[in-house]
Structure 1
Amino acid sequence: MTDRTRAHVFVSGNVQGVYYRANTRDTARELDVDGWVQNLSDGRVEAVFEGSEEAVDEMVDWCHTGSPAANVDGVEVEYGDPKGEDGFRIRR
């Protein structure tokens, strides 16, 4: 098994109400990345990605563009040890 890593991501910009979470979920599932995504009350989107380093890096790169209707201003990332996320879901 390849080394797993965890990325905790905060995305700012016009990222709510533009299918950002649904596109994040779909992309994560395509890349076999576990974790979750949710809207924050301050207008940002928060996400956690766990998987192979390659797949997690691909998700972080994807966040800089996000869904077609999104306008991303910034992406903050903190890497850490995996905590055993299983599957990928949208948190409400």
Structure 2
Amino acid sequence: MNEDVRLTAWVRGRVQGVGFRWFTRANALRIGGLVGFALNLEDGRVQVVAEGPRERCEELLEWLRTGDTPGRVEGVGEIWDTPRGGYDGFAIR
């Protein structure tokens, strides 16, 4: 019951200009089996989109929330959906 899913997370706090996207990509690659991207938004948040097995997406989401990230995470919102595909690896945008 580890079907593929799409996680979209919005991370707020001091998460731009601190290497947050790079660390998010590195952690997604460490977890393995995930494709997607991390993107700085104009309002100061970082959007993370990850597709892959639910268990691995949940592991990435937990990492985003633990505080073991660069900068300072004040909160993470997320939505779950079905994968859309079209990603080649995990990118920084």
Shared fold per TM-score greater than 0.5:
yes
Counterpart secondary structure, 1:5: strand
In the alignment, structure 1 segments of 5+ residues that lack a partner are: none
Deviation at 1:70, TM superposition (A): 1.4
From the superposition, tell whether residues 47 and 59 of structure 1 become closer, same or farther in structure 2 (CA, over 3 Å): same
Deviation at 1:66, TM superposition (A): 4.9
| Equivalent residue pairs, number | 89
Counterpart secondary structure, 1:35: strand
Distance 1:37 1:57 in 2: 16
| Aligned position for 1:75 | 76
Q: Aligned runs of 1:1-92 on 2, under 5 Å?
A: 2-32=2-32, 33-64=34-65, 65-67=67-69, 69-84=70-85, 85-91=87-93
1:38/1:47 contact within 8 Å kept:
yes
TM-score by length of 2: 0.89
Any idea what the Cα deviations from partners look like across 1:58-78, whole Å, max 9, x if unmatched?
0011111252x3111110000
Distance 1:79 1:30 in 2: 21
Letter in structure 2 aligned against 1:43: G
Distance 1:31 1:73 in 2: 23
TM-score by length of 1: 0.90
Any idea what the Cα deviations from partners look like across 1:15-67, whole Å, max 9, x if unmatched?
01111000000010111211000101110000101111110000011111252
Percent identity between the two aligned chains: 38
